[in-house]
Chain A
Amino acid sequence: EAQVTQNPRYLITVTGKKLTVTCSQNMNHEYMSWYRQDPGLGLRQIYYSMNVEVTDKGDVPEGYKVSRKEKRNFPLILESPSPNQTSLYFCASSPGQGFSGANVLTFGAGSRLTVL
């Protein structure tokens, strides 16, 4: 089944404890992206990657890191999490860089992170 898989789905952690949220897609997609979703703010892009070893900042990259060493994986790293990073996180992928009717985002199921 074609899908984007995120882990963990739920995590409660404490301030300053490094964590990684993994994201993997099995569709050979070039484009991958991370979003966070907060009430009243909608989905905001954190980082995106157009291909292996190519990453770029989105709208809210502060406090996050990413890497794209393989096409299928795009982990999100929080080096020193803080309470304002408590959010619902989505990974997404798309076949290519441009977006059109046939080239749309597929989302993972989401990872709910709480930082105490």
Chain B
Amino acid sequence: RKEVEQDPGPFNVPEGATVAFNCTYSNSASQSFFWYRQDCRKEPKLLMSVYSSGNEDGRFTAQLNRASQYISLLIRDSKLSDSATYLCVVTLGDTGTASKLTFGTGTRLQVTL
């Protein structure tokens, strides 16, 4: 089983739709969780961190479910500019030491008119 798994998609949604992605992780000791966004052939950029209590940033909501070992990303009112690949990132190290990030392979979102 992969350490971090994502549905590769693509998710094709019309503008204005709500779309959600999940990401599962296998190591219950995972410490920190992030969503990164990657545009085609460009560098990944941090979209948001995922906190235990869940967090929201504008149209984006991230949630963590430790019991089921997954994180989710919800995008409301999708825009054309949201078209990208969304990478789930998990740390598998101990707090306070050199943590290693593990990246999912990404979920591709295509927002259409």
Chain A residues within CB distance 8 Å of chain B? 31, 35, 40-45, 48, 50, 56, 58, 88, 90, 97-101, 104-105, 107-110, 112
Contacts and interface: CB of A to CB of B under 8 A. Distances in A.
Contact of B100 (A40, A58, A104, A107): A58
A5 B44 CA distance: 14
Contacts of B43: 90, 107-110
A59 to B, nearest CB: 8
Interface residues of B, number: 26
Nearest to B32: A99
A90 B44 contact: yes
Contacts of B29: none
16 contacts: A35-B103, A41-B105, A90-B43, A90-B44, A97-B99, A98-B93, A98-B97, A99-B34, A99-B101, A101-B32, A104-B34, A104-B49, A105-B46, A109-B42, A110-B41, A110-B43
Given A40-B8, A42-B105, 14 more contacts: A35-B103, A43-B103, A44-B103, A45-B101, A90-B44, A98-B97, A98-B99, A99-B32, A99-B101, A100-B49, A101-B49, A105-B101, A110-B41, A112-B41
